[in-house]
Amino acid sequence: MLPRGSWLCRTSELPGSHQVCCSLKELEVFSRAREVKVDPDKPLEGVRLLTLQARKTLLVPTPRLRTGLFNRIVPPPGATKEILRKCATSQGIKEFSVPVGLDGKAQVDLVVVGSVAVSEKGWRIGKGEGYADMEYAMMVSMGAVQEDTPVVTIVHDCQVLDIAEELLDDHDLTVDYILTPTRTIKTNCKRPKPKGIIWHKVSSEMLRKIPILKALQSREKQNGKDVTLQDEHPHLASSRVLKEEVMAENTHPQAATSSIQIGQQDVASDSLNPRLEGSGMITTVFVGNLPPRLRVSELKCALREFHVTPFRLTWQGAQHRAFLDYQDKRTAESAVASLKGLSLRGNPLRVELAKSQRNKGQGEINSQK
């Protein structure tokens, strides 16, 4: 399987990109669309050009949503093919666009997104930052897309994979069509798309980084919607499990350590959130005797079943062990009690409080055998 980030390769420079654009042009949902939203990624440059050449309105999200939601690309009158080609580039988006705000009355008829991986059922994994999901949810909230607005993703054939449904959350965007250089797949996906912003999954940090999101929160609050943020629901912070790095795990199964963040904290591998370090709040549980080739998703499923989801999970599959971080000792001890006697793939797991807690240094934790 491909590592997360493989979609960053330049599709427009690889064999098959022309066939994909031809396939999109032949889709009825593209033919009848008047306004098309296309991600700003380099691999979708050909799709943006096709949209402009078809004289459709092209909407491109602003990078990381820092300055708004959309830019509407407006080529100069009588633009030649070369000018249109420039308009489809990242530089052209800056030069030939006007911003579209919450009151911009956008009516998107087709959404085109990139993916790291997608299944024939329409389940999609992006680059892990959640911007495509957020953009779609914001479009729903501002009335720019409807429940039946089709979503297309364009990938290489090798990016069409089996994806476990357990990796999807209710805020994840699914797709209706998958276009590859050799296939057009209609997914007939029955899983509902996001119905708007799920505010209790939005952090204050995200709100700070995305000004238009704050404006949308204010608007929805005035309309009587509950817009309480994730940070303001402390009991939710420890229950949210992000999708694990499934692609990297399967491509690099012998990687010594990978950290899966659970909650809104931005923590690098093998390091603590500095606000928690030394506070005495973190208690770590050691899980040993993991069977060879066990996937982190299997362990996470077991943790959810026993209602002992950790604040953070550090996976060391090559060493047949993992570390589970909990926000207090009582919760950690309860997890140990719940997991005692658990077996995975016939291996009885060794579950106990780590001999050295994380706030005393990662090197001491690694001494756990």
Q: Give per-residue pLDDT as tens, 52-105.
A: 999 999 999 887 777 678 889 999 999 999 999 999 998 998 899 898 877 767
The yes-or-no verdict on residue 262 having pLDDT over 70 is: no
Q: Is residue 215 part of a domain?
A: yes
Q: Judge if 122 and 147 occupy the same domain.
A: yes
Q: Is residue 191 part of a domain?
A: no
Q: Judge if 116 and 207 occupy the same domain.
A: no
CA distance 106 to 37: 10
CB 310 within 8 A of CB 358: no
The pLDDT-based confidence of 202 (bands split at 50, 70, 90) is confident
Alpha-carbon distances, residue 145 vs 18, 37, 126, 149 (angstroms): 28, 10, 20, 6
Q: Judge if 315 and 360 occupy the same domain.
A: yes
CA distance 173 to 178: 13
Q: Judge if 345 and 258 occupy the same domain.
A: yes
The pLDDT-based confidence of 6 (bands split at 50, 70, 90) is very low
Q: Judge if 179 and 80 occupy the same domain.
A: yes
Q: Is residue 233 part of a domain?
A: yes
Q: Is residue 192 part of a domain?
A: no
Q: Judge if 21 and 105 occupy the same domain.
A: yes
Q: Judge if 339 and 284 occupy the same domain.
A: yes
Highest mean pLDDT among 27-31, 206-210, 301-305: 27-31
The mean-pLDDT minimum among 107-121, 172-186, 241-255 falls in 241-255
Print burial letters for 62-77: b (CB count within 10 Å at least 16), e (below 16): beebeebbbbbbebee
Q: Judge if 180 and 318 occupy the same domain.
A: no
Q: Is residue 42 part of a domain?
A: yes
CA atoms within 13 A on the CB side of 133: 22
Q: Judge if 89 and 159 occupy the same domain.
A: yes
Whole domain around residue 24: which residue ranges?
Answer: 6-186
Query: Quick one: what percent of the chain has pLDDT higher than 70?
Result: 77
Highest mean pLDDT among 7-11, 27-31, 126-130, 136-140: 27-31
Q: Is residue 293 part of a domain?
A: yes
Q: Judge if 262 and 351 occupy the same domain.
A: yes
Q: Is residue 1 part of a domain?
A: no
Question: Which DSSP symbol is given to 127?
Answer: S
Q: Judge if 13 and 48 occupy the same domain.
A: yes
Q: Judge if 81 and 63 occupy the same domain.
A: yes
Structural domain count, the chain: 3
The separation between the first and the last C-alpha atoms of the chain, rounded to the nearest angstrom, is 31
Q: Is residue 194 part of a domain?
A: no
